[in-house]
Structure 1
């Protein structure tokens, strides 16, 4: 198949986005691609199988005035994100034709990868392949690093997770339970709350949309306070949590999805609690923990195979569904990890 010219469906960003993104900010186009790596390129050509929809991608849809941790998408070009694919041609010494890999790829049927720094070869193929967009990929390592490396949990501690049914939150809760912690999560629908308690084994969960007073809700579920808050939401939720943290509590900051589409982010008013309660609030990026990936796999794969850890995916079929799937993240439409199937093998 290498060397053949084929059509290549792509998801293109039309223009940089201000405010809440819309499906119409993206369009699906078709170009042509030759399935052969150019002679002057030490890369590989990837047939994309699964694409990952992740909240951080919203930031890449905006043109930034200052340097940030990840580059903005280029209008008129395919957007990119984490995905799983099969190598169809290669000039890279570490990846050969036929290899399954995951890493940062284009939202298109085929991608020419010129930098393999963010790619991992998939060695364990006896688990669900799409899991490498989630529990066995970037979100899984994010949950592991944020909880164990940043939060440093102790048995018996009280853990609260916002956006708890999402790609990262659902795993953090289960890791916390396996560590002997008391775990409560919040989500935005009854279906998600039920999932947290019945599927993921959280001790309790609540629908934040039904709570008029978040401070009161947290006092109800954590009468003795919170030791670890895994932060995915920001804004009013963070403000309420700060009032309910225990002495020497830790807040690993993974994301703040409630703020991503606001032209003016909300202020946080209860930061003085950081001082009086001697709290540690620390942001982190998964890139800094890639070196722990083999250790993480060694821990998590047996848990998956033994049924000690569950993972729920929300699957959209076909590349043309990708814009809708991505926008759905910001209205809470997805239940579990949002995955787009480009091709099934």
Structure 2
């Protein structure tokens, strides 16, 4: 029986956490369940987090930022001491025995690191090659926006480690992630680095590949569907259209215009006559819109913001550039979100679906 038939609208309680909790939560959310997790703050299986010093790696199953992120976004409820009688369905964790070092490929002196772009949160948008990598990995190191529902296909003995970064919140330093990948690969393991979108589109996959190569660790790349094109598409917005625009420009909104760390030429972007797609720009969208208008983009330029694309919690708003940041705030849209600025943002090619 499908999850849609079994869990839609039901109150589901997960008691405790184990290696499959992240995948279970995502599957339940996609099935329309209202999910509560009964586990202490910072709960994990076997303790430890991925940021542990690389000289003494703790390769245990962890939830880390994933559960915290879902709770902060209002997708799940966290509690302790819940009354199971108050729920329609209760699922209890079955912790696996702690593994001190994880599986090892005995016939390899050095393993590999496979960088997999997981696309959006919907496991259906994961590539076949990405799914095969999940099925065969010894160690899976994942981000919070990876398609975690696909982890149900991981081997039972695979080590699953959450190194997600929450915007302006908890995070695992990139240097620790690099060290973690290298240490496991040097131990002869098949290591999977699983992210949302594509590893090489603002995903720091390039840095990870360089670190592994410098350490003599072979790297395999499995490209993913980038949110820069997929999120607008799921909202009915094509980033290009033969009668409207002949290109699109993808930029990071992590730092606003005028910030010393920004290297973007916003004037050139405003004059490019391309669709402008902004990733990681929820917090800076107002400043970006104001700068684009100051650089000559008309205030009535169509714009849109799409949040949680590919997930049951997805939402979007459309408004002129001069009002898009305010409309996104009123609509309660937060990260992860993609902003689209240009004539195509007025389209909905899926209208009537």
Alignment TM-score, normalising by the size of structure 1: 0.29
> Which structure's relative contact order is higher, taking Cα pairs within 8 Å and 6+ residues apart?
1
* Structure number having the greater strand percentage: 1
Q: TM-score, normalised by structure 2?
A: 0.28
